[in-house]
Amino acid sequence: MKYVDQGVIKEAAISSAFKTHQAYVQLNNGGSLIDYRSLEDFKKANLDCCILSSTGREGHRSTFLERTRGVSRGFVRVRYRDGVGSIRDIYFAVTNCGVLWNGTR
């Protein structure tokens, strides 16, 4: 069995976090949120923003059954600046195949 490269998982998570943030910017008409011009701007402003973790939001861990079924092998946390002095964390669950999802049922 071949595992998905961690770099690929991180890139997908960063891209998803960027898209989520841009949606917040549009919903709030900018406000005090940073309007990143591109995914590259997002990455440059948030170096080392992404880590793979065995725990998700509020310390949630994948159950044995979720790991066995391939539903969740762990989590990716993307930490980024969303406004002046504001830091936001977005967590994504990762399946054994490297597919990201929001971790809710």
pLDDT of residue 40: 96
Rounded CA gap, 51 and 75, in Å? 8
| pLDDT 10s digits, 28-41 | 876 788 989 999 99
For all residues of the chain together, what is the average pLDDT?
A: 86
Share above pLDDT 70 across residues of the chain, in percent, rounded to a whole number:
93
Task: Show me where the domains of the chain are located.
Answer: 6-98
Q: How many CB atoms lie within 10 A of CB 55?
A: 13
pTM of the predicted model as reported, rounded to 2 decimal places: 0.82
Cα torsion 73, 77, 9, 60 to 10°: value is 10
| pLDDT 10s digits, 62-76 | 888 888 887 888 899
